[in-house]
Amino acid sequence: MDQDQTVTPQFEANGDVRVPAFTLPISRLVSEEAAAAQRLRATVPPVDTTGIDAAPLRRQQINAYMAPSIAKLRETFAVEIEAKTIGGVPVLDVTPSDGGHDPDRVLINLHGGAFTVGWDGVALVETIPMAVLAGMRVVSVDYRMAPEHRHPAAIEDVAAVYAGLLQDYAPGRIGIYGGSAGGVLTAQTAAWLAAHGLPQAGAIGVFGAGGVPFEAGESAYVTGYIDGAFPPPPADGSAPPDITKGYFNGIDADDPSAWPAYHLDVLARFPPTLIITGTRSIDLSPAIYTNSQLIKAGVRSTLIVGESMGHCYYYNLALPEARDAYDAIVAFFRENLN
């Protein structure tokens, strides 16, 4: 479609901007693989979530969707996966099959899935490659989710697993990471540990998320129209649908245990942090804001923004951009878990 070069944004007196329709071309800065993936999206029908309200059904569907990716990952990365319990919480303990992982360092994974789904399909996508690429044991937590549970149930479960691992690992050698809801939960956990008398972890990775709600910044609007993975907030200014199915019901919008990036005193107790997002990701604004706040609080924070990348793009290891992200993640944890 031809672009009308005479059309410009309209700026309203209240600060709103009326954005004209435009065509966004494929970035010339992305890999050929990423460009091909974007062209392929024209053949993919939109996801229809109508009527999918039953938690067990949603969880089954997510796991079925992830199954082909997991099978492919297991062909590429040889791992041992053991279901066990740590601190009274179910976990998956993932290690490289060759047994050559670092005996002194461990990673805790917090899976994505909007605090409602993701166990164990998303968890395996996030842990299988990490265990092999990092050469570390990865413990993925089956934390409590909505609609059955409410905040801070998930953090309590993560803290219990963390306390259990402290029996075998020094806190500075424990890393915590997660994508999407798991990225939010990672930031929440760093705030929780410091506030509840537990020694801080050595480093954290907040991927596809930040320490504030997804809809807090303008990226929710922009990426809603250029990416489509998540719909933009309602045009009438009403609250967007709650994808967490009530997980944060009753929690104050400024609660530091839920949204630590609003509080510099809380962030000041964070360990070194790696944040990963993309220019087409709903979490771009939360990630940028959280990184800026961490730096303001005096914490070492590194922000990686993938050009033209969507939400949790690092899941797709067929993309060079995703492989670059994993290289950065592995290097970050190896450097900071001392």
Ranking 14-18, 43-47, 66-70 by mean pLDDT, the lowest is 43-47
pLDDT over 70 at 171, yes or no = yes
pLDDT over 80 at 48, yes or no = no
Strands (E), 146-290: 174-179, 203-207, 273-278
Q: What is the pLDDT of residues 237-248, one digit of tens each?
A: 788 888 999 999
Contact (CB, 8 A) for 324 and 190: no
pLDDT over 60 at 140, yes or no = yes
In this prediction, residue 51 carries a pLDDT of: 44
Q: What is the pLDDT of residues 316-328, one digit of tens each?
A: 999 999 999 999 9
pLDDT over 90 at 41, yes or no = no
**Domains assigned to the chain:** 57-233+241-336 (3.40.50.1820)
What's this model's pTM, rounded to 2 decimal places? 0.95
Ranking 8-22, 83-97, 115-129, 290-304 by mean pLDDT, the lowest is 8-22
Contact (CB, 8 A) for 59 and 119: yes
Contact (CB, 8 A) for 301 and 287: no
In this prediction, residue 4 carries a pLDDT of: 61
The mean pLDDT of the chain is 94
Give me 284's structure tokens. Answer: 């771009």
